[in-house]
Amino acid sequence: MIRYFLSAFFFAILFSASLSAKPIIANSNNSIKESILQAIAYDTIIIKPGVYYENLISIEKPLTIIGEVGAIVDSQEGDEIFIVQSDGVIIQNLTLKNIGVSYIKDRAAIRLNRVRDVKILNNTLINTFFGIYLQKSNNCIVDGNKVIGGAQDESTAGNAIHIWQGKRIQVTNNEVSFHRDGIYFEFVDESYIANNLSKNNMRYGLHFMFSNYDQYENNRFQDNGSGVAVMFSKHIEMRDNQFLDNWGGASYGLLLKEISDGSIENNNFSRNTVGIYAEGANRLSIKSNLFHNNGKAMDIKGNSLDNQIIKNDFVGNTFEVLTNSKSNLNHFEGNYWSQYSGYDLNKDGIGDVPHRPVNLFAIVTDKIPAASMLLHSFLVNSLDAAERLFPQFIPEQLIDQKPKIKPNHYDQD
């Protein structure tokens, strides 16, 4: 009997404790800062609709902060808004606005400083300098946010999602635009980027520096200065992404510089000045990609070694492959080349003569851009035909021995 009584008593205590954990409300009577001071660890703070003119809100205990529809925090061109300095914080459904540009400090709408297990979900960030800035943080999730910068003057833009030193970060379903870089990874390992849309950023849609063992898939990079840059990194997997409309004097769909052991598979490179530019890229698997309507599909420099370029489709590009070396240490096989002029007498789907994707004129225009006005002239076309028969200038070993007659992607459909 006493035991029953005791358990009922404990149950009552537990029940009242759970009652006291009802959410704290921030509304026009109190500021978000005050609500955070009142809260104890693991409380939930609900922010009612309205505009809150606040900044430098420091969060030093694990809290869940949820905005109702119409909850807006405006920094009025001032300092950062949320500074997360505790593990286990969730910031959700808020609209954050107007972060001031500063030369001295990289201000962000939301900054995470040396924390783990923090989630930034479904927020809208407008007119930000830096958007979401993760600094020395691990195991965090950035999902479903919309980050629109105020970059009118291009050089005063920060990055939309900036991660500096971190591990196991998940960046998914975000939309980022009008910043310097859409998503920037510097010293970030074992992380995952998927289903993001990155467009109209002035430098890169996505940028890796000194980051290893990361994956990105199903993202769209459109109308950025360049699509994606992967630099000084190892073991990066790039799958099912779209690199579109990166046009300009030196624009690339994908820029590879000093990287190794990664894979580039099933991506779509369309309407870029250069589809893939590779310098010092080694041991990559470049497989089943579609290169469509680019100026140059691939520009692969002589210091790139042991890359496997297999089963890709090169359709309607002005130049298929360009290089700056007479030797070739990469392997091309089973690609479809729309400029292939051979035949398939035994009908096995593989061209009977090998294809040389490097065009003499591509090398000429690379050195003398003005020469491109002679493209498709009779003289140049005959020179090119002669060069392909008896190569003097183009790398002799850069050959696809088994060019496909039909596009690989065509077969899949």
Q: Residue 389: which residues within 8 A CB-CB, separation 6 or more?
A: none
| Of residues 185 and 332, the one with the C-beta less far from other proteins | 185
Q: How far is the CB of 132 from other proteins (least distance, A)?
A: 16
Closer residue to other proteins, CB minimum distance, 155 or 346: 155
For residues 211 and 235, is the Cβ–Cβ distance under 8 A?
no
Closest CA to 94 of 29, 160, 146: 146
Indicate whether 155 belongs to the interface with other proteins (CB under 8 A).
yes
Which one of residues 33, 121, 210, 223 is an interface residue with other proteins (CB under 8 A)?
A: 210
Provide the minimum distance between the beta carbon of 141 and other proteins in the complex, in angstroms, as a whole number.
24
Residue numbers 377-406 binding other proteins by CB under 8 A: none
At residue 102, the 3 state secondary structure works out as: coil
SS3 383: helix
> Which of 66, 78, 187, 402 touches other proteins (CB under 8 A)?
187
Nearest CB to other proteins, comparing residues 32 and 148? 148
Decide whether 71 or 229 has the Cβ nearer to other proteins.
229
Q: Does 279 bind other proteins (CB under 8 A)?
A: yes
Which of 129, 208, 269, 277 is close enough to bind other proteins by CB under 8 A?
Answer: 277
Q: Is residue 303 part of the contact set for other proteins (CB under 8 A)?
A: no
Question: Of residues 76-115, which lie at the interface with other proteins (CB under 8 A)?
Answer: 103, 106
Using CA atoms, how far apart are residues 217 and 116, in angstroms rounded to an integer? Answer: 24
Sequence-ordered alpha helix ranges (H) in 261-326: none
150 contacts other proteins (rule: CB under 8 A):
no
* Cα within 13 Å of Cα(321), Cβ side: 29
Give the C-alpha distances (Å, rounded to integers) separating 105 from 100, 129, 160, 243, 382: 10, 10, 15, 32, 59
Of 225 and 262, CB closest to other proteins:
225
Residue 277 Cα distances to 50, 122, 324, angstroms: 48, 34, 12
DSSP string, 163-191: EEEEES-EEES-EEESSSEEEEEEEEES-
Mask of contacts with other proteins, 109-148, x by CB under 8 A?
----------------------------------------
Q: Is 273 helix (H, G, I), strand (E, B) or coil?
A: coil
Please give the angle made by the CA atoms of 180, 185 and 188, to the nearest 5 degrees.
165
Q: Do 312 and 286 contact (CB within 8 A), yes or no? A: yes
Least distance in angstroms from the C-beta of 180 to other proteins: 5
Taking residues 219 to 258 in sequence order and writing x for each that binds other proteins by CB under 8 A, - otherwise, the string is ------xx--x-xx----------------xx----x-x-
Report the residue from 66, 121, 141, 209 that binds other proteins according to the rule CB under 8 A: 209
Binding positions for other proteins, rule: CB under 8 A: 103, 106, 154-157, 164, 180, 186-187, 202-204, 209-210, 225-226, 229, 231-232, 249-250, 255, 257, 277, 279
